[in-house]
Amino acid sequence: MISAPDVVAFTREEELGDELYREPPLPEEYSVPLFPFAGHGANPWAKVSSSKFSRDFILISEFSEQVGPQPLLTIPDDAKVPGSFDLNYFSLRIMSVDYQASFVGHPPGCAYPKLNFVEDSKVVLGDSKEGAFAYVHHLTLYDLEARGFVRPFCMAYISADEHKIMQQFQELSAEFSKASECLKTGNRKAFASELEKKLKDLDYTRTVLHNETEIQKKANDKGYYTTQAIEKANELASVEKSIIEHQDLLKQIRSYPYRKLKESDFHAYEPEGTLDQAGTSSEQDLATSDPAEPGEMHLYSRLPSYTPKLIKAKPAKCFDKKLKTLEELCDIYFFNQTLDQLHHIERTFRGDVCYLLTNQISRALLKQQSVTNFLFEDVSFLEEKAPENQYRGCQGLSQDAADRKCSEESPAPKVVISLGSYKSSVECVPIKMEQDMGDPQEPSMTESITFEHQENLDYLDADLKGSISSGESIEVLGTEKSASGLMKSESQASLPISPSPQVGRSKVGSRRTVSEDSIEVLSTCPSESLIPEDFKASYPSAINEEPYVDDEEGGLRFTPRLNPDNADEQEDVSNQENLAQIDSACCIGKESPSFLEPLPGLGQKQCDEDGVVRIPPQPYRQAEQGLHGSLVGSPPCDGAPGGLLPHELDSRCPTAGREVSRTSLDECSDSTSYISSAASTCSDRTPSPAHPVCLTNERHKKKAGQNALRFIRQYPFAHPAIYSLLSGRTLVVLGEDEAIVKKLVTALSIFVPNCGAYAKPVKHWVTSPLHVVDFQKWKLIGLQRTVSPAGVGVLHALSRYSRYVSILDADSKTLRCPLYKGTVVARLADHRTQIKRGSTYYMHVQSVLTQLCSKAFLFTFCHHLHLPISEREPEESVVNRRMNFLKLHLGLANEDVKIVQYLAELLKLQYIQEPGQGANPLLRFDYVPSFLYKI
Amino acid sequence: MSALCPPPSPAVAKTEISMNGESPLLAATFAYWDNILGPRVRHIWAPKTDQVLLSDGEITFLANHTLNGEILRNAESGAIDVKFFVLAEKRVIIVSLIFDGNWNGDRSTYGLSIILPQSELGFYLPLHRVCVDRLTHIIRKGRIWMHKERQEHFQKIVLEGTERMEDQGQSIIPMLTGEVIPVMELLSSMKSHSVPEEIDIVRTLCLFLTPSERRCSRLCRNETSFKYESGLFVQGLLKDATGSFVLPFRQVMYAPYPTTHIDVDVNTVKQMPPCHEHIYNQRRYMRSELTAFWRANSDEEMSQDPIIHTDESFTPDLNVFQDILHQDTLVKAFLDQIFHLKPGLSLRSTFLAQFLLILHRKALTLIKYIEDDTQKGKKPFKSLRSLKIDLDLTAEGDLNIIMALAEKIKPGLHSFIFGRPFYISVQERDMLMTF
Highest mean pLDDT among A102-106, A265-269, A757-761, A766-770: A766-770
> Is residue B120 a part of any domain in this protein?
yes
- The single-letter DSSP state of residue A319 is T
Highest mean pLDDT among A169-173, A907-911, B188-192: A169-173
Highest mean pLDDT among A107-116, A207-216, A299-308, B135-144: B135-144
Chain A hits for B67, Cβ within 8 Å: none
Chain B hits for A38, Cβ within 8 Å: 421
Confidence of residue B237 (pLDDT cuts 50, 70, 90): confident
Q: Which residues contact B12 (CB under 8 A, 6 or more apart)?
A: B41, B42, B43, B44, B56, B60
B287 at the A interface (CB within 8 A)? yes
More confident residue, A510 or B226: B226
CA distance B194 to B127: 13
Confidence of residue B121 (pLDDT cuts 50, 70, 90): very high
Task: State how far residue B377 is from chain A, nearest Cα, in angstroms.
Answer: 5
Q: Are B402 and B362 in contact (CB under 8 A)?
A: yes
Chain B hits for A157, Cβ within 8 Å: none
Chain B hits for A33, Cβ within 8 Å: 283
Strand pairing report for A780-784 and A923-926:
unpaired
Looking at the structure of chain B, the number of domains it has is 2
> Rg of chain B over CA atoms, in angstroms?
24
Residue A388 has pLDDT above 80, yes or no: no
Q: Which amino acid, residue A611?
A: G
CA distance A647 to A665: 9
Q: Which amino acid, residue A431?
A: I
> Is residue B361 a part of any domain in this protein?
yes
Chain A nearest-CA residue for B289: A9
Q: Across the interface, do B313 and A11 touch by the CB < 8 Å criterion?
A: yes
More confident residue, B191 or B10: B191
Q: What is the pLDDT of residue B241?
A: 79
CA distance A347 to A273: 18
Task: State how far residue B367 is from chain A, nearest Cα, in angstroms.
Answer: 9
pLDDT in tens, A635-693: 333 333 333 333 333 333 333 333 333 333 333 333 333 333 333 333 333 334 444 45
> Is residue B391 a part of any domain in this protein?
yes
pLDDT in tens, A228-248: 778 888 888 888 888 888 888
Q: Which of A31, A127, A166 sits opposite B74 (nearest CB)?
A: A127
Strand pairing report for A731-735 and A630-633:
unpaired
CA distance A609 to A594: 10
Provide mean pLDDT across the span A273-283.
Answer: 39
- Enclosing domain of residue B75: 11-160+169-189
Provide mean pLDDT across the span A84-110.
Answer: 70
Q: What is the pLDDT of residue A301?
A: 46
Q: What is the dihedral of CA B284, B290, B291, B294, to 10 degrees?
A: 180
Q: Across the interface, do B78 and A848 touch by the CB < 8 Å criterion?
A: no
Q: What is the pLDDT of residue B357?
A: 94
Helix, strand and coil in chain A, % to nearest 5? 50, 10, 40
pLDDT in tens, A882-926: 888 888 888 888 888 889 988 888 888 888 875 555 555 556 666
Confidence of residue B135 (pLDDT cuts 50, 70, 90): very high
Residue A568 has pLDDT above 60, yes or no: no
CA distance A785 to A778: 18
- The single-letter DSSP state of residue A885 is I
> Is residue B200 a part of any domain in this protein?
no
B246 at the A interface (CB within 8 A)? yes
B280 at the A interface (CB within 8 A)? yes
Q: Which of B79, B280, B292 sits opposite A128 (nearest CB)?
A: B79
Chain A hits for B360, Cβ within 8 Å: 358, 361-362, 365
Residue A429 has pLDDT above 50, yes or no: no
- Peptide bond connecting A308 to the previous residue in cis, omega within 30 degrees of 0: no
Which residue of A3, A6, A139 to mutate against B (max B Cβ within 10 Å)? A6
A695-837: what fold?
A: Rossmann fold (3.40.50)
B residues 48-77 lying closer than 8 A (beta carbon) to A: 65, 68-69, 71-72, 74-77
> Is residue B314 a part of any domain in this protein?
no
CA distance A838 to A840: 5
Q: Are A797 and A769 in contact (CB under 8 A)?
A: yes
The average confidence (pLDDT) of chain B is 80
- Within 13 Å and on the Cβ side, how many CA atoms surround A40? 23
Task: State how far residue B129 is from chain A, nearest Cα, in angstroms.
Answer: 9
- The single-letter DSSP state of residue A889 is I
B220 at the A interface (CB within 8 A)? no
3-state SS track over A616-630: CCCCCCHHHHCCCCE
pLDDT in tens, A138-158: 998 988 888 888 888 999 999
Q: Across the interface, do B140 and A30 touch by the CB < 8 Å criterion?
A: yes
CA distance A123 to A105: 25
Q: Across the interface, do A858 and B286 touch by the CB < 8 Å criterion?
A: no
Q: Are A728 and A902 in contact (CB under 8 A)?
A: yes
Q: Give the three-state DSSP class for B200.
A: helix
Number of cross-chain residue pairs from A and B with Cβ atoms under 8 Å apart: 323
Listed residue (A661, A494, A483) closest to A589, CA to CA = A483
Q: Which of A130, A354, A361 sits opposite B410 (nearest CB)?
A: A354
Q: Are A932 and A467 in contact (CB under 8 A)?
A: yes
CA distance A297 to A294: 6
> Is residue B216 a part of any domain in this protein?
no
> Is residue B113 a part of any domain in this protein?
yes
Q: Across the interface, do A835 and B249 touch by the CB < 8 Å criterion?
A: no
Q: What is the pLDDT of residue A313?
A: 56
Q: What is the pLDDT of residue A640?
A: 34
Task: State how far residue A641 is from chain B, nearest Cα, in angstroms.
Answer: 36
Query: Sheet of B92-103: strands edge to edge?
Result: A68-75, A57-64, A150-159, A132-142, A121-127, B80-87, B92-103, B106-117, B27-34, B38-47, B13-17
With vertex at residue B149, the alpha carbon angle to CA B147 and CA B155, rounded to the nearest 5 degrees, is 115
Q: Across the interface, do B365 and A843 touch by the CB < 8 Å criterion?
A: yes
**Beta-bridge partners for A780:** A731, A762
CA distance A514 to A531: 18
pLDDT in tens, A419-428: 333 333 333 3
Confidence of residue A477 (pLDDT cuts 50, 70, 90): very low
CA distance A512 to B243: 74
Q: Across the interface, do B86 and A5 touch by the CB < 8 Å criterion?
A: no
Report domain extents, chain A: 57-101+109-220+227-260+315-358, 695-837, 847-915
Q: Whole-model pTM? A: 0.72
B residues 319-378 lying closer than 8 A (beta carbon) to A: 320-321, 333, 336-337, 340-342, 345, 347, 349-351, 353-358, 360-365, 367-369, 371-374, 376-378
Residue B115 has pLDDT above 90, yes or no: yes
Q: What is the pLDDT of residue B405?
A: 92
Q: What is the pLDDT of residue A557?
A: 37
Strand pairing report for A806-809 and A814-818:
antiparallel
CA distance A881 to A384: 41
**Beta-bridge partners for B31:** B41, B111
